[in-house]
Amino acid sequence: MTKEWRGGSDNQWPNVKLKDVGKGFNYGSSAKSKPEGEVPVLRMGNLQGGRLDWDKLVYTSDEAEIEKYLLETGDVLFNRTNSPELVGKTSIYRGEQKAIYAGYLIRVKGSDRLNTEYLNIQLNSPHARDYCGK
């Protein structure tokens, strides 16, 4: 943000750790998904360029899994495993349709100190992607 945008102030925003401003940091469902069912289960292949790709879905009808892993608008999904170029792949859930998330993804919830739209942009930046791939 420019000095002009900050009202002419030289004050910088404080550096904070994600764990101190976000909520939720939960792994997703490890239950076996099926080709058909009531609710889509988002997997790492569904995370594409900061957005969710709703193709090639698998599903669950397990009510306990749905209740436990149901996504809320603004949740950020983060890929925690796989090859260096895929670790850290991130997308935001905008409430497109009811969905849960798979176990190799981590859900990060926003707070009054964390705008998840901003988090999604930052985690998809080249700097963040390089950091996660190391």
Residue pair 91/52 in contact by the 8 Å Cβ criterion: yes
In whole angstroms, what is the distance from residue 13 CA to residue 1 CA?
A: 10
Residue 8 within a domain: no
Q: What is the pLDDT of residues 14-46, one digit of tens each?
A: 788 889 999 888 999 999 999 999 999 999 999
Residue 93 within a domain: yes
Q: What is the pLDDT of residues 81-96, one digit of tens each?
A: 766 666 668 999 999 9
Residue pair 100/70 in contact by the 8 Å Cβ criterion: yes
84 burial class (0-12, 13-18, 19+ CB within 10 angstroms)?
A: exposed
Residue 57 within a domain: yes
If you average pLDDT over residues 65-75, what whole number do you get?
A: 97
Residue 81 within a domain: yes
Residue 13 within a domain: no
Residue 3 within a domain: no
Residue 98 within a domain: yes
Instruction: Give me the chain's average pLDDT, please.
Output: 87
DSSP string of 106-119, one letter each residue: EEEE-BTTB-HHHH
Q: What pLDDT, on a 0 to 100 scale, did the predictor assign at position 12?
A: 72
In whole angstroms, what is the distance from residue 43 CA to residue 57 CA?
A: 8
Confidence band for 131, pLDDT divided at 50, 70 and 90: low
Question: Tokens 């058909």 belong to which residue?
Answer: 36
Question: Tokens 């599903």 belong to which residue?
Answer: 59
Confidence band for 75, pLDDT divided at 50, 70 and 90: very high
- pTM of the shown model: 0.83
Q: Total domain count for the chain?
A: 1
Residue 53 within a domain: yes
Instruction: State the residue range of the domain holding 88.
Output: 21-132
Domain of 107: which CATH number?
3.90.220.20
